[in-house]
């Protein structure tokens, strides 16, 4: 599908008051010279944020629109943005987690390298990362996934840029029934499809002054969504990439147990009892994911064993 603009900036928005308009203005100022469209996906706002965003677009004669997605999830809103976009490339801007002025460098890198996926790897991180020492510009999606699971490299899922045609051609989308873990699962699916990867050597600087407060997603089901999301990725891996035995083993004995234990920690911090957590995990058979082998990191192995044997002594 031919792109009509250089870049689509997709912004999920709910009751952001004037903040969405401010985001549009700041991005338009740092992307002068690029043909950018702003796609605001409004999730049933009850304030004047929609009107404010539309006024900003019209006032400065920008490309853009506001699309209503009702009371749906953020992941559903992001999917709507992907399908409504016309950009050669796409980036997602989360009002609760804004970064300063990274988009122009991302665009320059993705265009020059004809890449499908771009993220930031600051020099400080490069010195620590075995993956980048081997040459990240030629790395495969599977190798990057292995690096993510083994904590050899970090990707901030809310600051990436992607080739729209790559997403559509590989039918990659956010899991709409997951309110937690959807961004992580989306990036994992992007990498599973074999993108051409590049990176930008810049530190990502949070724009805390202009970010909206993040909604606290609490409760049993929301936390468990992250396990659901990663299990779906694992299912895709085992069905479509059976030859990737190393990655499959890492998922089984590192990633999935790690996600389950992170949910345990989160629920304990929300003052759920250990018995209630164990019952919830058992009910959905998530306790069966707490498997260990020689490739399980020692710290994770110890957490799992303590949780299984003496949960009343376990501390997050």
73, 176 contact by CB (below 8 A): yes
Least confident of 27-31, 197-201, 207-211: 207-211
**Average pLDDT of the residues in 52-65:** 90
Per-residue confidence (pLDDT) for residue 242, from 0 to 100: 87
**pLDDT above 60: residue 227:** yes
List C-alpha distances in Å: 11 to 43, 188, 240, 306. 11, 21, 31, 42
> Which residue bears the tokens 């606290």?
216
Per-residue confidence (pLDDT) for residue 308, from 0 to 100: 95
Per-residue confidence (pLDDT) for residue 27, from 0 to 100: 94
Residue 98, helix vs strand vs coil: coil
Q: How confident is the model at residue 296 (pLDDT cuts 50, 70, 90)?
A: very high
**Average pLDDT of the residues in 61-79:** 86
**Average pLDDT of the residues in 299-314:** 95
Q: How confident is the model at residue 212 (pLDDT cuts 50, 70, 90)?
A: confident
Distance in angstroms (rounded) separating the CA atoms of residues 181 and 222: 9
- What is the secondary structure of 169-184 as a DSSP string? HTT----TT-SSSHHH
Per-residue confidence (pLDDT) for residue 79, from 0 to 100: 93
User: CA angle 260-158-50, nearest 5°?
Assistant: 120
**pLDDT above 70: residue 130:** no
**Average pLDDT over the chain, rounded to an integer:** 89
Per-residue confidence (pLDDT) for residue 135, from 0 to 100: 60
Give 239's contacts (C-beta < 8 A, 6+ positions apart).
Answer: none
Distance in angstroms (rounded) separating the CA atoms of residues 175 and 284: 19
Structure confidence by residue, pLDDT tens digits, 7-42: 999 999 888 778 889 999 999 999 999 999 999 998
> Which residue bears the tokens 């409760």?
219
Structure confidence by residue, pLDDT tens digits, 246-285: 999 999 999 999 999 999 999 999 899 999 999 999 999 9
Q: Which residue has the higher pLDDT, 211 or 195?
A: 195
Q: How confident is the model at residue 153 (pLDDT cuts 50, 70, 90)?
A: confident
Q: How confident is the model at residue 217 (pLDDT cuts 50, 70, 90)?
A: low
Distance in angstroms (rounded) separating the CA atoms of residues 50 and 19: 10
Q: How confident is the model at residue 110 (pLDDT cuts 50, 70, 90)?
A: very high
Per-residue confidence (pLDDT) for residue 15, from 0 to 100: 82
3-state secondary structure 24-53: HHHHHHHCCCCCEEEEEEECCCCCCHHHHH
Above pLDDT 70, what percent of the chain?
Answer: 91
Per-residue confidence (pLDDT) for residue 167, from 0 to 100: 97
pTM: 0.91
* Burial status of residue 96 (CB atoms within 10 A of its CB: 0-12, 13-18, 19 or more): middle
Per-residue confidence (pLDDT) for residue 229, from 0 to 100: 95
Distance in angstroms (rounded) separating the CA atoms of residues 171 and 243: 21
197, 117 contact by CB (below 8 A): yes
Backbone angles phi, psi at 68, to 5 degrees: -85, 130
């Amino acid at each position: 599908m031919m792109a009509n603009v250089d870049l689509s900036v997709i912004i999920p928005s709910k009751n952001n008051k004037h903040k969405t308009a401010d985001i549009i203005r700041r991005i338009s100022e740092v992307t002068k010279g690029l043909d950018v469209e702003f796609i605001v996906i409004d999730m049933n706002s009850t304030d004047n944020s929609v009107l404010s965003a539309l006024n900003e677009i019209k006032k400065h004669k920008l490309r853009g629109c506001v699309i209503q997605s009702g009371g749906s999830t953020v992941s559903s809103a992001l999917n709507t943005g992907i399908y409504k976009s016309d950009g050669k490339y796409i980036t997602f801007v989360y009002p609760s987690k804004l970064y300063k002025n990274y988009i122009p460098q991302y665009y320059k890198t993705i265009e020059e390298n004809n890449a499908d996926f771009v993220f930031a790897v600051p020099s400080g991180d490069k010195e620590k990362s075995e993956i980048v020492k081997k040459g990240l510009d030629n790395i495969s999606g599977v190798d990057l996934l292995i690096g993510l699971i083994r904590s050899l490299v970090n990707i901030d899922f809310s600051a990436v840029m992607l080739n729209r045609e790559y997403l559509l051609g590989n039918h990659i989308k956010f899991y709409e029934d997951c309110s937690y873990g959807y961004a992580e699962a989306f990036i994992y699916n992007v990498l599973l499809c074999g993108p051409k990867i590049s990176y930008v050597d810049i530190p990502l600087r949070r724009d805390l002054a202009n970010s909206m407060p993040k909604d606290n997603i609490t409760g049993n089901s929301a936390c468990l969504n992250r396990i659901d999301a990663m299990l779906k990725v694992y299912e895709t891996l085992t069905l479509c990439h059976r030859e990737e035995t190393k990655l499959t083993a890492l998922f089984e004995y590192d990633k999935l147990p790690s996600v389950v234990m992170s949910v345990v920690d989160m629920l304990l911090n929300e003052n759920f009892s250990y018995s209630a957590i164990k019952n919830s995990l058992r009910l959905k058979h998530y306790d069966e994911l707490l498997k260990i082998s020689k490739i399980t990191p020692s710290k994770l192995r110890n957490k799992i064993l303590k949780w299984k044997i003496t949960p009343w002594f376990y501390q997050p």
